[in-house]
Amino acid sequence: MTTYTELKQQIRDYTETDSSVLTDTIINDFIEHTENRILKELDLPVFRSYQFSNFTAGNGFITLPGGAATVPTQYSVIRSVMIYPPSGAEERTYLQQKDVTFMDEFHPDRTVTGTPKYYCKWDYNTIYVVPTPSLAFKIEVGLIKLPDRLSSTNSNTWLGDNAPTLMLYGCLIEAFKFLKGPAEMLQLYMQSYETALQEVAAQQMGRGRRDEWANGVLRVPRPSILPGYSKPIEGGQ
């Protein structure tokens, strides 16, 4: 567990650099870049979100559910896009992600309608699908929400509390790039970051398997003794 003040001081201590070089503004950039990197590299259940909306028939563009900001203030990554028929049937269709060039080549005439097969991010808050929807299909978008940012006004966050080592090494990578530090140190911090990344991933996977979030406690297997046996049977409850 680490607070904003503690992380800021750790970065300066590790780099042996004071606040005249690594100002709070610069360190805030390190923290934000690290948080964004972690979210792109780890699919953490705590940050998943599912939003729902409806297309307008004849219009292949739809604003991402949850807001129409000009910058992605609420999400960082689109995990999945599904559509449902407007009739209420539960037949879900996953759309494949493509780039804009593919979309235009595959479906050059936007007046031709059908059932969408592909999607892309048109801009920060708009999804574009092809073929152009022939009906008012329902859409379900799986998103990775942006976490609360660790800052001077927000001293504790989920990443700071649950992945402090990962946050530290991610910030040190940013710091050594900025300071143009020794290549061997940068390599060391990159290796340490990857190790911490795997540890957090394994920890969260283990919590999910034990259903910790639902029950509030870890489910630890206990050996049980069956009638007629003198030794515990491994894996019993």
| 103-151 residue pLDDT tens | 999 999 999 999 999 999 888 778 999 999 999 999 999 888 777 889 9
- CB within 8 Å of 55: residues ≥ 6 apart: 62, 83, 116, 129, 133, 135, 136, 137, 138, 139
At 236 the pLDDT is 43
**Distance between CA atoms of residues 179 and 124, nearest Å:** 31
**Distance between CA atoms of residues 119 and 102, nearest Å:** 10
The two structure tokens encoding residue 142: 């799986």
At 188 the pLDDT is 95
At 234 the pLDDT is 43
Identify which of 165, 159, 179 has the alpha carbon closest to the alpha carbon of residue 27.
179
At 209 the pLDDT is 52
Any idea how long the chain is?
237
Q: At what angle do helices 164-179 and 183-209 cross, to 10 degrees?
A: 160
At 157 the pLDDT is 93
Report CA-CA distances (Å) from 42 to 26, 151, 171, 205.
24, 21, 16, 11
Query: pTM here?
Result: 0.68
The two structure tokens encoding residue 55: 């297309």
Identify which of 168, 157, 104, 154 has the alpha carbon closest to the alpha carbon of residue 130.
104
33 neighbors 186 (Cβ within 8 angstroms)? no
**Distance between CA atoms of residues 27 and 31, nearest Å:** 6
At 79 the pLDDT is 85
At 45 the pLDDT is 82
**Distance between CA atoms of residues 158 and 144, nearest Å:** 14
At 51 the pLDDT is 85
Which parts of the chain sit beneath pLDDT 50?
68-71, 210-237
At 85 the pLDDT is 87
* Helix (H) or strand (E) segment spanning residue 76: strand 75-84
